Each structure stands twice: as C-alpha cells, then as structure tokens.
C-alpha cells in the first residue's frame, strides 16, 4: 500500500498536466463555439481573466491567509510580468495569429513552446543541455519528436479514416467574422506567423518567470490570483482600446457566458495553479512538453462533437507526439533520479563531519567501568579499569607528595 502511494505521488505532476491539457482542449472547443457566435476574441480574453480573478482571489485569501508570505515589490513586479507574458500578451498574440491565419496554423505554431522554453531555460540555468549524456539527448530528441508530430498532425491530412461518426456538429454552417478571408492573404499569413511565434516566446518566458516567482512566493493560489488580477487589468485596457462596440461586451445566458466562465474559472483559475505547482516540482520544460497533447484531445473532441474527420496524418502525428512525450519524460525522470541520489551526499553538511564522543566510567551504567571513544556512532574501548586501580593510583600519588615534602624540609 505504501509503495502504491509513493508511485501515485511520483505521478502527481504528470496527472496534473494531463488534466490541464484536457481543460485547455475544452477551452479551444468553447473558443470555436464563441467565435462562431460572433464574439470578439479580445473581449473573451478580458472576461476570461476577470472570471479567473473573481474565482481564485477569494479562494487564495481563505486557503492561504495564514501561510501566505509577505508581499514585496519584487513579487508584485514578477506577478505583473506573469500576467503580461503568461496572460494578456500571450493570449492576444495568439488571437491575432488566429485571426490573420487560421486556427490550424496557430495551433501548429503554438507547439514550438517546448523548443522555445528549452532554448530560453538553458541560459537562465533552469535546464541543462547535457548533450554528452543520454538524458540530455533524450530531452532534445523527445522535444523535436513532439514538435514534428504536432506539425505533421496539423499540416498533413492524408486519407480519411472513418473510425466513428456521431453526426454531431455544434457549429453552425454560417459563421461570423472574417477569419477565412484574412487567412487567404499571404502578407497577413506571414504577420500571423510572427504573432504566433511571439506568443510562444511570451508563454515560454512566463514559465521561466513563474519558476523564479515560485521560489520567492511559494503560495500557488495567491500567486495565481496576483497573475490573474494583473492580466485582467492589462487585458481590459487593451480590449477597451481596440473594441469600441459595446454590444460585444454584453453577456447573456448563452455560449458566450459559458465560454468566458469556463475559460476563466477552470483554465485561468484552477489550471494555472496546477501549472505553477508543476513548474515548482519539475521545472518549466516538464510543463511545456505536455502542450502537444492538447492537439490530440482537440482532434478527438472535434471528431466527436464538431463532426471533424480524422486522417492518416492525424494518427501518425499523434503517435509521434505521444512517443516524444514519453522520451522527454524518461530523460527528465532519469535526470531527477540522479539529482535525488546525489543530493544527500552533496547537500548534507553533516555527512562530512566526524562525531567523536568520549565516555568515562562515570557516564551511563555504573557497573561498567570502561572508558571508550565513539566515532560516528561506533564505540571503541580505551581501557578497562576497576575501583581498586583508581584507589591504588590515588594512594601512590599521595605518598609521592609526602616524600617531596619531607625532602624539602
């Protein structure tokens, strides 16, 4: 039973990140439904962070009111950067890419996050390249396999595979917006690619800053609340500046309210807390390599409820993503195991100290009249003496003093 609990505890970060990707896949489905309903994506981002702040702030106040560390200027600045790079900037850059190109293209470029994170994490000292070791090669190879699989899944279709057909399509055939028209312009496609790469870099920077912030401010709910509040302010300022049509800001009991509430409470509230916890436990690279998993989940959800078709490219790409994911996890696991094995000998200052304790016959058991030396817990006897020896030595010393006194006189 104890071994099973240890195994589950070791799998905790992996389970959390799988849950995160399921939640984010749901967000993408809701995004499609909200855009199909004609909702402005910048408004979605603003409302998303507003709902996240309204949910996570009271939760953080209640759960961490006693354990929350002091809020300093450095923590506020880091939370501002987390809200910028991991919130408003990353989301709005992604949305601009989505509008200028297509959802498929933007999703494919988003899978560059593991590579960008690995590149940026190395100079920050959060990850080591270690190409001379099998662990380092595994992390690099697995990351490249995941990116390649995501690109293949997105860009190559091949023959259609009819595994199941639910004939369920939640999207209306008459869609709002002009995304399709904009995607045909090659100049807009190039600009959209730049925005997508910028979104990847922004998200990667957030993972690195989050790792640093977790060391200074390890309260995950409070840290997520700070990030959400900062992101809300930034996203609302940008959305109000870009969107002047007040009809876009109205929410009713429809897919718009469901989208912003789900994406805010679940994705930007609970899931960001899980991500912050996993960053603290395993580092930013571990978190970023799970991003391609979302493509598989979106493909499955799309085929089930959006009547999207699966193709040969989707199957091959998904296989590469899963293989790359496990290769990276294998390399990261071996690396963490080595660090854990080296930690006791390198980090414990007491391991290099020799403890010497001298015990006399007056210590401990009165029946044992032997003196000994204990070195690191091992007892070594010095001599074995009895009471007559001490009395004899005392008498001889007294006689010597009397002889010296008489000779002096």
The answer on 389 and 319 residing in a single domain is no
The answer on 223 and 169 residing in a single domain is yes
What's the predicted TM-score (pTM) here?
0.67
Rg value, the chain, Cα: 32
The answer on 395 and 308 residing in a single domain is no
CA angle 349-355-358, nearest 5°?
A: 165
The answer on 379 and 325 residing in a single domain is no
Sort 395 into a burial class: Cβ within 10 Å, 0-12 / 13-18 / 19+: exposed
Low-confidence ranges of the chain (pLDDT < 50): 174-184, 345-392, 394, 408-409
The answer on 328 and 382 residing in a single domain is no
The answer on 334 and 372 residing in a single domain is no
Domain end among 347, 365, 383: 347
Q: With residue 405 as reference, give the H or E element that holds it.
A: helix 387-408
The answer on 161 and 297 residing in a single domain is yes
Query: What span, in angstroms and rounded, lies between the C-alpha atoms of 338 and 335?
Result: 5
pLDDT of amino acid 235: 94
pLDDT of amino acid 213: 87
Task: Please answer whether residues 222 and 64 qualify as being in contact, where contact means their C-beta atoms are separated by less than 8 angstroms.
Answer: yes
The answer on 341 and 393 residing in a single domain is no
pLDDT of amino acid 200: 85
The answer on 371 and 294 residing in a single domain is no
Closest CA to 206 of 279, 147, 100: 279
The answer on 388 and 316 residing in a single domain is no
The answer on 208 and 141 residing in a single domain is yes
pLDDT of amino acid 24: 86
Domain end among 296, 324, 347: 347
Query: What span, in angstroms and rounded, lies between the C-alpha atoms of 93 and 195?
Result: 5
Domain end among 299, 316, 347: 347
Residue in this structure with the two tokens 């354990």, named with its chain if needed: 67
What's the number of domains the chain is made of? 2
The answer on 397 and 288 residing in a single domain is no
Residue range(s) defining the domain that contains residue 404: 356-408
């Amino acid at each position: 039973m104890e071994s099973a609990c240890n195994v589950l505890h070791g799998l905790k970060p992996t389970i959390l990140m799988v849950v995160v990707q399921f939640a984010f896949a749901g967000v993408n489905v809701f995004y499609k439904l909200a855009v199909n309903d004609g909702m402005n994506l910048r408004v979605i981002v603003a409302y998303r962070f507003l709902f996240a702040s309204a949910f996570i702030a009271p939760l953080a106040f209640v759960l961490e009111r006693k354990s929350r560390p002091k809020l300093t200027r450095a923590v506020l600045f880091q939370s501002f950067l987390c809200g910028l790079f991991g919130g408003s900037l990353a989301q709005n850059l992604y949305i601009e890419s989505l509008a200028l190109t297509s959802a498929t293209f933007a999703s494919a470029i988003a899978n560059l996050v593991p590579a960008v994170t690995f590149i940026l994490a190395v100079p920050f000292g959060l990850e080591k390249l270690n190409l001379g070791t099998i662990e380092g090669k595994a992390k690099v190879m697995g990351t490249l396999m995941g990116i390649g699989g995501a690109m293949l899944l997105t860009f190559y279709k091949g023959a259609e595979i009819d595994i199941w057909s639910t004939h369920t399509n939640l999207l209306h055939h008459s869609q709002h917006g002009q995304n399709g028209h904009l995607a045909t312009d090659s100049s807009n496609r190039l600009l959209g690619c730049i925005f997508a790469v910028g979104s990847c870099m922004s998200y990667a920077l957030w993972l690195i800053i989050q790792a640093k912030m977790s060391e200074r401010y390890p309260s995950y709910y409070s840290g997520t609340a700070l990030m959400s509040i900062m992101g809300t302010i930034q996203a609302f300022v940008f959305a109000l500046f870009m969107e002047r049509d007040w009809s876009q800001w109205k929410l009713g009991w429809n897919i718009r309210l469901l989208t912003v509430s789900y994406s805010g409470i679940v994705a930007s509230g609970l899931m960001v807390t899980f991500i912050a916890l996993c960053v603290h436990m395993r580092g930013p690279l571990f978190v970023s390599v799970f991003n391609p998993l979302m493509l598989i989940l979106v493909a499955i959800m799309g085929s089930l409820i959006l009547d999207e078709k699966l193709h040969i490219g989707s199957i091959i790409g998904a296989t590469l993503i899963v293989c790359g994911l496990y290769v990276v996890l294998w390399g990261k696991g071996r690396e963490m195991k080595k660090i854990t094995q080296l930690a006791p000998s390198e980090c414990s200052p007491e391991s290099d100290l020799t403890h010497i304790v001298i015990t006399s016959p007056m210590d401990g058991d009165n029946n044992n009249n032997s003196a000994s030396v204990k070195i690191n817990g091992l007892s070594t006897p010095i001599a074995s003496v009895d009471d007559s020896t001490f009395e004899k030595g005392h008498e001889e010393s007294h006689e010597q003093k009397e002889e010296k006194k008489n000779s002096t006189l």
